[in-house]
Amino acid sequence: MSIRVRFAPSPTGNVHIGNIRAAIFNWLFARHLGGAFLLRVEDTDRERSTPEAIRTLLDVMAWLGLTYDEAPVYQSAQRARHLAAAEELVRQGHAFRENKEGKGECIVFRMPKEGKVEYHDLVKGPIRKKAEDTQDFVIVRSDGNPVFHLANVLDDIDMRITHIIRGDDHVENTFKHIQIFRAMGVEPPQYAHLPMIVNAMGKPYSKRDGAAFVGEFRDQGFLPEALFNFLALLGWAPGEDREMLTRDEMVAAFTLDRCKSSAARFDIKKLTWMNGEYIRHLPLALFAAEFETRVRAGGWWRDELPVAERVGIMALVQPRTKFFAEIPGNCAYFFHEEYPFDAKSLEKRLHGPGVPELLEAVVAHFATLPVFDHAATEAALRAMGDERGVGLGGMVHPVRVAVSGLSDGPGLFELLVLLGRERVANRLLRVATRLRAGSL
Ligand code: GLU
């Protein structure tokens, strides 16, 4: 039997990470087994499934490299087929018409009245329910529209889907779905319900917890490879504590028996770390393009900056960039002498007594160095720190804030060397003067 799986989202304009996680699992499953990964757009809600919403969905899939193997199926186009099947179910006694007072006629599917309804979930194990705890349900509304359960199952039959991998919010629906399959004379596919994605409190992860839509991560400068890798681990463990995996490695390792049934915690710190790792390994040309775009958008870019210096800046910034949106905010001082000062850093590191004198002493000491390199600047600050009893840290922090306006950044000595002795001296002297004048 050839494996056929599908991603069946209902486009709403934004693609939630929980949804795209299901797409990723289906895609990996299909690629691992050499099966087909299909897309079915469940677009029956005409108000939400606008052409724009569908475009967003297709864009996100392309961005993440979620390639599908056949033309997408649009559920709304199958309406006539859904209604015809509902009639057939009525004819065969699996469903009946019901006239709700004043509301018109709907079609109701019959659930079994005795015994059990059960299925074996490939992630959650056996799932069952007593028939008496199930209820007949509407499959065609009185307004003539087929409901989700009917459309979903019929499309899965028509697309010859062998495995349904989706979020566990559908566990309950599956009792209904397998009965429709059987009533249609089709053996139900295999099911794998993926664990819920939860926040730090164990509650379903939602937009209230932070970025929840794929587009938001893209805008913040998360790389598709990193987001893909991170989402693949929400409910799946490749073993041996492996975390950073190439797409080929994920495809090779992906099996449903390594999927977990317990809730998957969305840990933004981990995603940020992982994205930083992916950015660090990005070829310089790719990093450079994104870097320039972001610095330009931030208004800091200077075309006249020599290429060598630009490359030097990127060599310092790339290894410590966690997501691209950080970039303009932490790069101004590379490009301009008028760089902003972070208020907290200013208060903590530069507003103490004796700071202007200290910065001036550094300038004087730097002027005596035979070469202005990493080793020499470090030795200079260390010696001065020892002499003053403040240690290296007591020197590094004020100097860093003075030359960059920020408390964090690349290694200070690399930064000093990149800026060069003269620029460093000018910056330190200027800050000292402004501090004395109370204008900083
Ligand atoms: N449109 C449904 C959803 O997005 C489909 C679920 C499924 O069967 O995969 O939740």
Statement to judge: residues 349 and 421 lie in one domain: yes
Using the predicted structure, report yes or no on whether residue 146 has a pLDDT greater than 90. yes
pLDDT of the residue at 12: 93
- Quick: pLDDT tens for 211-264: 999 999 999 999 999 999 999 999 999 998 999 999 999 999 999 999 999 999
Distance CA 254, CA 25 (A): 8
- The residues annotated with a catalytic role in the active site are 207
Asked, for residue 222, whether it belongs to a domain, the answer is yes
Q: Which atom of ligand 1 is nearest to the CA of 19?
A: 4
Ligand 1: which residue has its CA nearest to atom 6? 8
Read off the pLDDT band of 191 (50, 70, 90). very high
Rounded to the nearest whole angstrom, what is the distance from the C-alpha of residue 168 to the centroid of ligand 1?
10
Token pair 């950080």 is found at: 326
pLDDT of the residue at 102: 81
Statement to judge: residues 386 and 414 lie in one domain: yes
- The number of folded domains in the chain is 3
Rounded to the nearest whole angstrom, what is the distance from the C-alpha of residue 8 to the centroid of ligand 1?
5
Average pLDDT for 369-378: 98
Mapping DSSP to helix (H, G, I), strand (E, B) and coil, where does residue 311 land?
helix
Q: What is the pTM of this model?
A: 0.91
Asked, for residue 255, whether it belongs to a domain, the answer is yes
Distance CA 374, CA 6 (A): 56
Sheet strand arrangement including 36-41: 73-74, 36-41, 4-7, 163-167, 190-194, 116-121, 125-130
Statement to judge: residues 419 and 359 lie in one domain: yes
Where is the domain boundary, 281, 300, 318?
281
Question: Do strands 137-140 and 104-109 pair parallel, antiparallel, or not at all (unpaired)?
Answer: antiparallel
Interacting residues of 126 by C-beta distance below 8 A, sequence separation 6+: 118, 119, 120
- Please list every protein residue whose CB sits less than 6 Å from any atom of ligand 1: 8-10, 42, 152, 164, 166, 170
Asked, for residue 382, whether it belongs to a domain, the answer is yes
3-state helix, strand, coil in the chain (%, to 5): 50, 15, 35
Residue 286 corresponds to which tokens in the numbers above?
A: 């790719």
Statement to judge: residues 64 and 207 lie in one domain: yes
Distance CA 140, CA 258 (A): 38
Instruction: Report the CATH number that the domain containing residue 277 is assigned in CATH.
Output: 3.40.50.620
Ligand 1: which residue has its CA nearest to atom 10? 9
Rounded to the nearest whole angstrom, what is the distance from the C-alpha of residue 212 to the centroid of ligand 1?
18
Please name which of 39, 36, 33 lies closest in space to residue 7, comparing C-alpha atoms: 39
Question: Do strands 197-198 and 264-265 pair parallel, antiparallel, or not at all (unpaired)?
Answer: parallel
pLDDT of the residue at 88: 98
Using the predicted structure, report yes or no on whether residue 1 has a pLDDT greater than 80. no
pLDDT of the residue at 171: 97
Asked, for residue 59, whether it belongs to a domain, the answer is yes
Token pair 């989706």 is found at: 166
Q: Can you spell out the DSSP letters for 399-440?
A: HHHHHHSSS--S-HHHHHHHH-HHHHHHHHHHHHHHHHTT--
Token pair 């001296």 is found at: 425
Read off the pLDDT band of 351 (50, 70, 90). very high
Asked, for residue 295, whether it belongs to a domain, the answer is yes
Rounded to the nearest whole angstrom, what is the distance from the C-alpha of residue 273 to the centroid of ligand 1?
31
Distance CA 26, CA 291 (A): 33
Rounded to the nearest whole angstrom, what is the distance from the C-alpha of residue 125 to the centroid of ligand 1?
20
Mutate to test the pocket of ligand 1, among 166, 171, 176 (most ligand atoms within 8 A of CB): 166
Where is the domain boundary, 246, 262, 281?
281
Determine the structural domain holding residue 286 and report its residue range. Answer: 282-335
Using the predicted structure, report yes or no on whether residue 424 has a pLDDT greater than 80. yes
Statement to judge: residues 350 and 290 lie in one domain: no
Mean pLDDT of all residues belonging to the chain: 97
Where is the domain boundary, 281, 296, 316?
281
- Contact call for residues 40 and 6 (beta carbons, < 8 A): yes
Mutate to test the pocket of ligand 1, among 42, 158, 162 (most ligand atoms within 8 A of CB): 42
Read off the pLDDT band of 103 (50, 70, 90). confident
Asked, for residue 106, whether it belongs to a domain, the answer is no
Statement to judge: residues 359 and 375 lie in one domain: yes
